[in-house]
């Protein structure tokens, strides 16, 4: 008796078979002198298509699940969902000033007792060395615990935005 598979499952099985064949054929192709650059370009194109398909499935699946630590069991597959909200600093420069202000200004009068240009340079240096959450992100990664320890008020300078949710497969039962 044959088991009827959906077209998408059949296509994924063919993909798995093709990947196994590529794994076997690649060393021979390299020994035969085929262009490594062209092979890599072809592989990158296929991976881009697969990533786009995975992203579509991930977004669809994550839309109905909330991020949490424990995995979800969905159709016999354990999934971990990450993402949710992330803090965004509305005015990183003002927040950085609140960090250094006690070191450069009189706490009673607020008068800055260092040269104004020196204070500005210090502020610029601080903003330069703060870690960023990801490459090119203009939003410095202030450590909230550190701000709290220093007694820096920041609630008025923070907001929240929705992060992209990601889904990781933790465990899959054997397909039947």
The pLDDT tens digits for 97-108 are: 999 888 888 888
pLDDT of 162 over the 70 cut: yes
Rounded CA separation 42/150 (Å): 53
How many C-alpha atoms does 101 have within 13 Å on its Cβ side?
17
Give the predicted TM-score (pTM) of the model. Answer: 0.57
**Angle (nearest 5°) at CA 151 between 134 and 109:** 115
pLDDT band for position 136 (50/70/90)? low
pLDDT of 66 over the 70 cut: yes
In the block, tokens 């000033």 appear at 97
The pLDDT tens digits for 67-125 are: 887 898 998 899 999 887 888 888 988 999 999 888 888 888 888 888 888 888 888 88
Mean pLDDT of 41-66: 91
């Amino acid at each position: 008796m044959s088991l009827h598979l959906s077209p998408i499952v059949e296509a994924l099985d063919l993909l798995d078979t093709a990947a196994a064949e590529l794994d076997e054929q690649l060393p021979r192709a390299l020994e035969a002198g085929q262009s490594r650059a062209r092979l890599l370009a072809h592989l990158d194109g296929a991976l881009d298509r697969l990533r786009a398909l995975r992203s579509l499935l991930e977004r669809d699946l994550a839309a109905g699940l909330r991020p949490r630590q424990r995995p979800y069991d969905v159709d016999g597959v354990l999934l971990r969902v990450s993402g949710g909200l992330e803090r965004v600093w509305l005015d990183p420069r003002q927040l950085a000033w609140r960090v250094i202000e006690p070191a450069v200004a009189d706490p009673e009068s607020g008068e800055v007792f260092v040269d104004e240009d020196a204070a500005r340079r210090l502020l610029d240096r601080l903003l330069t060395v703060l870690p960023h959450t990801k490459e090119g992100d203009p939003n410095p990664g202030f450590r909230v615990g550190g701000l709290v320890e220093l007694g820096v008020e920041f609630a008025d300078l923070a907001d929240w935005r929705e992060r992209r949710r990601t889904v990781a497969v933790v465990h899959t039962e054997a397909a039947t």
